Structure 1
Amino acid sequence: MRNTKRFQVENANSLWQIYKTVPFWKVVKNFIVIQLGRYVPFLRMKNWLYRTFLRMKIGDKTAFALMVMPDIMFPEKITVGRNSVIGYNTTLLAHEYLIEEYRIGDVRIGDEVLIGANSTILPGVTIGDRAIVSAGTLVHKHVPAGSFAGGNPMKVIYTKDEMEKRKSDFSE
């Protein structure tokens, strides 16, 4: 189950009320920084932009590939551990605007995590240390540490123990 905080709205859907939930100028600033970051080919500069202007928590040696899209409304709710790779065109969402409510939740990505290209991480999800998420996955629930997960809907394909066994079988 994802960990999100829910907020009810009335009259129109929650997206029509966006600037009641987040300041307009914050969204403008975040949009500009994210667009720069999506194209910057220098990983140190990209991490600096995200840490400094978006208040994202990013560990050392973490790599955001080209076109990664962090949450534009609440990027400060995203934490990525050290030495992780976020694949090409992945989307990291910390919010969901729905018809009768909106939800906000922290996204926690552990150390040495690999997230394949074109994945979508939903709000309130934790991806454990050394987990692998295959390309094109919709991460709608927690991913246990050391496991391999993928698909839509996402499921755990190999547990941590199964992954360790596969690695030992490979090295023999």
Structure 2
Amino acid sequence: MGAREKVRNMRRYPVEGPNALWQLYRTVSPWKGVKNFIFIQIARYCPVLSLKNWIYRHILGMKVGDHTAFGLMVMVDVFFPELITIGRNSVIGYNTTILAHEYLIKEYRLGEVNIGSEVMIGANTTILPGITIGDGAVIAAGSIVHKDVAAGTFVGGNPLRVLERHSQEERSSNL
């Protein structure tokens, strides 16, 4: 077996009693959950990219760079969207899910998601909490992003693996 991969950057919170999801509203206001759910659903179906970004920035508290485009049906974390940062001029593909939390049996975990600038994320991708995706990375459609992705890297699959890597000079010449 090769070198152990870096564990996702997450904070762990143990719980006692019923599973952590059953105790959800001890960690998140039910009103925050309802408000976020309603506005996320509006943004998922909204065809106006600037309005989507306004909702993400001003109502959900996400950090979203200029000209970032969210495809139809993108699902951002309902309970902790403020833990999501996306750089400028990135594309988040159709039906992608971006999570910043995990509720398990004996604990829940929170992790910031940082997606760089000029990142392309293919349709139906799931990004798990605590992940960093570097500038210029490309994520193939249908991938599960369970580990960090270096800048300029093309990755895909489940489990996620490197498909191709470009230097900064190669990325600049392709623009």
The residue type equivalent to 2:91 in the other structure is V
Give 1 or 2: higher helix fraction: 1
Alpha-carbon separation, structure 2, partners of 1:46 and 1:162: 31
Structure 2 residue identity aligned to 1:31: F
CA distance in structure 2 between the aligned counterparts of 1:159 and 1:61, rounded to whole angstroms: 25
Alignment map for 1:128-139 (pairs within 5 Å): 128-139=134-145
Map Cα deviations across residues 55-100 of structure 1 (whole Å, 9 max, x no partner). Answer: 0000000000000000000000000000000000000000001111
1:15 pairs, out of 21, 39, 50, with 21
Structure 2 gap segments, 5+ residues each: 1-6
Q: Is the 8 A contact 1:146 1:163 kept in 2?
A: no
Question: Where does 1:28-107 land on structure 2 (aligned, <5 Å)?
Answer: 28-107=34-113
Gaps of 5+ in 1: none
Matches within 5 A, 1:105-120: 105-120=111-126
Q: Does 1:124 align with 2:112?
A: no
- Aligned partners of 1:147 and 1:163 also within 8 Å: no
Kindly indicate whether the alpha-carbon contact (under 8 Å) linking 1:97 and 1:103 is maintained by their aligned counterparts in 2. yes
Identity of aligned residues (%): 62
CA distance in 1, matches of 2:163, 2:62: 29
Q: For residues 156 and 47 of structure 1, what CA distance do their matches in structure 2 show?
A: 30
TM-score by length of 1: 0.94
Secondary structure at 2:88 match in 1: coil
Alpha-carbon RMSD: 1.7
| Cα distance in structure 2, aligned partners of 1:63 and 1:162 | 23
What SS does structure 2 have at the residue aligned with 1:158? Answer: strand
Task: Tell whether the 8 Å contact from 1:6 to 1:104 is kept in structure 2 after alignment.
Answer: yes
Q: Distance in 1 between matches of 2:146 and 2:166?
A: 19
